[in-house]
Amino acid sequence: MNIFTIFAVRLLLGIFSFSGLVRVSESSGNSNVDALREVIVSHTDENGILQLFRKKEDGSKSLQLTNSKHGCRMPSVSPDGKKLVYVKQVDHSLSLWLSGIDGQNLRSVVSGGMNLIPSWLPDSKHIVWMKTQPGKKGEDPASNSQIHIINVETGQTRRLFSDPEQITFNDAMPSVSPDGKKIAFVSKRTGTFRVWVSNLDGSDAKPISPTKDQHESLNLPIEQKVPAWSPDGKWIAHWEGVEMIHMSPFTGIKNPKRDQQISATFSVWVASSDGQKRRKVGRGDDPTWSPDGYVTRAFPDPERGGPKIMIETSSGEKELPIVPRKRNWGRFTWLPETAQSKKKK
């Protein structure tokens, strides 16, 4: 098993099915298309290659931003709405590439090795990301990762955490708070992957979403990954469940029933940033927050032949049909309100 396999399966999701899902119309029902918010989403093109597309939240007005031979995923838009960073596969590495919000003026900012899940700081000049080193066969890539930071204007890069008590740990999947003072990340420093929050230098690190250590019937560890801050900085959404490395594609032992049981544990949770409260949003993975503070989750839908993405609203959940039917995907990000308001003018 290699890192491409793990993250491809985590991101594409579509090889597993969940039952009891509520069908929602493909259309958002909003006739005023110009009033809809915008996203940048990674999904496969007609050739099966992951590309980046800018579109409305109802899937309309789609504009392809990349034309990669090997795939682009994990897009992240700068807070000022002017820059786009994403992960691009180049040969046998995953590199970070930077462009304008229109996909132009493209350049590589971090090359070589496995670089994943970029997240902007509020100044729109710095990016943090997880840099993964080759590990043992069958090992989760997050077990051998460190969080790094780069100034995209100067190219200066370093390991993010400087606190002496924190630099001995492996940490992954960073997400910076809206005010830039805190960072959420995942670490297995207590034995299993949990979401932690610390100061930006790694000091005062604490787990914030307490849960059971083991799944009772499966007798496997319950993990937490993919943290995402709410726009107001008060909440952190994350994935929780039994990790895919225990499933047939990774163990080499076919066990469809067990695979279904494991996939049924995948869920999105929201925890307060101080760790005092938490709630379950629903089944799924890869949570994001809309600019007005609503959580999204994604899960496979056999009828669509790919992922279904749902978003909470004041009147209940609705579908975000931003990935065409029978297509795989590699995550999405919202354009900040600043970028969307500028375009309207």
DSSP state letters, 274-320: TSS-EEEEEE-EEEEE-TTS-EEEEEEETTTTEEEEEEEETTEEEE-
DSSP reduced 3-state for 12: helix
For position 34, what pLDDT does the model report? 62
CB-CB contact of 21 with 301 (8 Å): yes
Alpha-carbon gap, residue 143 to 173, rounded angstroms: 11
For position 244, what pLDDT does the model report? 82
What DSSP letter does each residue of 28-81 carry, written as one string?
---S-GGGS-EEEEEEE-TTS-EEEEEEETTS-S-EE----SS-EEEEEE-TTS
Alpha-carbon gap, residue 141 to 68, rounded angstroms: 24
Alpha-carbon gap, residue 222 to 87, rounded angstroms: 27
Confidence of residue 74 (pLDDT cuts 50, 70, 90): very high
CB-CB contact of 185 with 199 (8 Å): no
* Of the listed ranges 10-14, 222-226, 280-284, 337-341, the one predicted with least confidence: 10-14
Which are the contacts of 216, defined by CB distance < 8 A and separation ≥ 6? none
For position 30, what pLDDT does the model report? 44
Instruction: Identify which of 74, 109, 113 has the alpha carbon closest to the alpha carbon of residue 93.
Output: 113
For position 123, what pLDDT does the model report? 97
Instruction: Identify which of 328, 273, 270, 277 has the alpha carbon closest to the alpha carbon of residue 297.
Output: 270
- The angle subtended at Cα 129 by Cα 197 and Cα 340, nearest 5°, is 90
DSSP reduced 3-state for 259: helix
For position 73, what pLDDT does the model report? 97
Residue position matching structure tokens 């990790």 = 243
Domains of the chain from N-terminus onward? 3-344 (2.120.10.30)
Alpha-carbon gap, residue 324 to 130, rounded angstroms: 29
Average pLDDT of the residues in 52-65 = 97
Of residues 23 and 4, the one with the higher pLDDT is: 4
The model's pTM is: 0.87
Q: CA dist 9 to 2, 204, 205, 227, 345, Å?
A: 11, 33, 30, 18, 40
For position 343, what pLDDT does the model report? 53
Whether residue 315 is predicted with pLDDT greater than 50 in this model: the reply is: yes
For position 256, what pLDDT does the model report? 87
Instruction: Identify which of 122, 113, 179 has the alpha carbon closest to the alpha carbon of residue 148.
Output: 113
Of residues 299 and 250, the one with the higher pLDDT is: 299
Average pLDDT of the residues in 148-163 = 94
CB-CB contact of 331 with 71 (8 Å): no
Compute the Cα dihedral for 23, 27, 32, 38 and give only its sign.
Answer: positive
